Structure 1
Amino acid sequence: MSAAQNMNVYLNNHYEGMTPEKLIHMLYQGALKHLGFARQGLIEKDPKKRGEHLGKVISIISELNTSINPEVNDESTQFLRGLYASMLAELPKVSITNDVKTIDITCSYLKKLNEIWENEVLNNKGKKAGVKANNSGASQPTYGNRYSSGNVIDPKSIFA
Structure 2
Amino acid sequence: MTLQAYQSVRRSTLVEGASPHQLIAMLYDGALSNITIARKHLAQNRGYQMHVHIDKAIAIVQELQASLKDYETNELAGNLFELYSFITSTLISANQNKEDDSLRTCLELIEILKDAWQAISPEQVAA
User: TM above 0.5, one fold?
Assistant: yes
User: Is contact 2:71–2:78 with CA below 8 Å preserved after alignment?
Assistant: no
Q: Which runs of 5+ in 1 are unaligned?
A: 132-140, 143-160
Q: Could you list the structure 1 runs, at least 4 aligned residues long, displaced by more than 2 angstroms after superposition.
A: 3-14, 70-73
Instruction: Tell me which amino acid in the other structure corresponds to 1:125.
Output: P
What residue is the counterpart of 1:136 in the other structure?
none
Write 1 or 2 for the structure with the bigger share of helix.
2
For residues 52-71 of structure 1, the aligned pairs below 5 Å read 52-70=52-70
User: Structure 2 vs 1, CA of residues 93 and 117 (structure 1 numbering), >3 Å: closer, same or farther?
Assistant: same
Give the fraction of aligned pairs with identical amino acids, expressed as a percent: 24
What residue is the counterpart of 2:107 in the other structure?
107
What residue is the counterpart of 1:125 in the other structure?
122
What residue is the counterpart of 1:75 in the other structure?
75
Superposed CA offset, 1:75-111 (max 9, x none): 2111100000111122112222111111111111000
TM-score by length of 1: 0.69
User: Structure 2 vs 1, CA of residues 64 and 7 (structure 1 numbering), >3 Å: closer, same or farther?
Assistant: same
Computing the radius of gyration from Cα coordinates, the structure with the larger value is 1
The root-mean-square deviation of aligned C-alpha atoms, in Å, is: 2.5
Secondary structure, in 3 states, of the residue corresponding to 1:105?
helix
